[in-house]
Homo-oligomer: A and B are copies of this chain.
Amino acid sequence: MAILVVGSVALDDIQSPYGKVRASLGGSATFFALSASYFTQVRVIAVVGEDFGKQHEDVFRKHGIDITGIEHAAGKTFHWSGEYGENPNDCKMHDLQMNVFEKFQPKIPAGYRDSEYIFLGNINPELQSEVRKQMRGAKFVGLDTHPFWIETTPQQLAQAIGDIDIMIINDGEARQFAKDNNLLRSANKILALGPKALVIKHGEYGATIFFQKGAFGFGGHPFRAPALPLDEVRDPTGAGDAFAGGFLGYIASQGKVTADVFKRAMFYGGVMGGFAVERFGTERLLTLTRQEIDARFQLFREMTHLE
């Protein structure tokens, strides 16, 4: 089953103690699409500027990603510039230029209309709701957000998640959105707003999925996937979108949404998020093989299973 992603495509400058890159292809839709492409067919809706060239298109094409929905606008592509410290949670933003992304109005190509799986990446929650409305026939919708939207448009965000299947955010965002320091209480408050399930990512500690009671055949308990301890987190950019790509890409590839599929999807999400941070930008996501992915999946199993 094909999965449709709406989000940003960016050209980023990134620096960390392990090196730096300039005008590196990034953005939420890019990381998601590359990650999900190892599992299923991916369709992208985004906007780029005149500095987005054939070499960038080729990155998507080599992974069989459909970019009919990438709109070309006059101006420059969304640009972010930042620097990570030795602690990957410390990040200084040097520059942020919205450019063509500022007036982004997602348009759904005719060929995308039959998409049953959708990921609403980090964009304005009103646009997320808009896309959701236009894709009434979708079977399964995931959504990510960003502290900026939680702070500036919390009501619009609450509305957007009222009509989706799963929200995928991190610890800090969950606490910020629920205004509660306790993670379980935060999860329950967010689930009360509508989504059937909620994934909270804990960075190096893995991720937990919480469910509305009985949703997708799950019992009353959450499910937790690990993360592989890494000695070098070279560049955390895109880890969350790579997680979402592995998670939703695997679900879409299965064509059914059961408790067993969710559990494996959590493992695949953790696997892809972990790969993303091992190299700069999208580098590691470009060269993976399904064999490497499944070997890491197997390692996750050995790291958590009693037998």
Instruction: Tell whether, in the assembled complex, residue B306 and residue A219 are in contact, meaning their CB atoms are under 8 Å apart.
Output: no
CA A103 to CA B205, docked complex, whole Å: 40
Task: Please list the 10 inter-chain residue pairs (A to B) with the smallest Cβ-Cβ separation, ordered nearest first.
Answer: A205-B205, A184-B229, A184-B231, A224-B226, A304-B304, A87-B181, A185-B231, A263-B306, A224-B303, A202-B205
CA A303 to CA B218, docked complex, whole Å: 11
Instruction: Tell whether, in the assembled complex, residue A229 and residue B299 are in contact, meaning their CB atoms are under 8 Å apart.
Output: no
**B residues in contact with A306, CB < 8 Å:** 260, 263-264, 267, 301, 305
CA A188 to CA B231, docked complex, whole Å: 9
Tally A residues with Cβ within 8 Å of B: 38
A197: shortest Cβ distance to chain B, in Å?
A: 14
**B residues in contact with A260, CB < 8 Å:** 306-307
CA A222 to CA B230, docked complex, whole Å: 11
Q: Which residues of A contact B (CB under 8 A)?
A: 86-87, 181-185, 187-188, 202, 204-206, 208, 210, 219, 221-224, 226, 229-233, 260, 263-264, 267, 299, 301-307
**B residues in contact with A208, CB < 8 Å:** 229
CA A301 to CA B264, docked complex, whole Å: 15
**B residues in contact with A299, CB < 8 Å:** 221
Residue of B nearest to A187 (CB): B229
Instruction: Given A202-B205, A205-B205, A206-B205, check contact A231 B303 (CB 8 Å).
Output: no
A175: shortest Cβ distance to chain B, in Å?
A: 10
Residue of B nearest to A297 (CB): B306
A188: shortest Cβ distance to chain B, in Å?
A: 7
Instruction: Tell whether, in the assembled complex, residue B302 and residue A304 are in contact, meaning their CB atoms are under 8 Å apart.
Output: no
Instruction: Given A181-B86, A263-B306, check contact A206 B224 (CB 8 Å).
Output: yes
Instruction: Given A306-B260, A306-B301, check contact A183 B224 (CB 8 Å).
Output: no
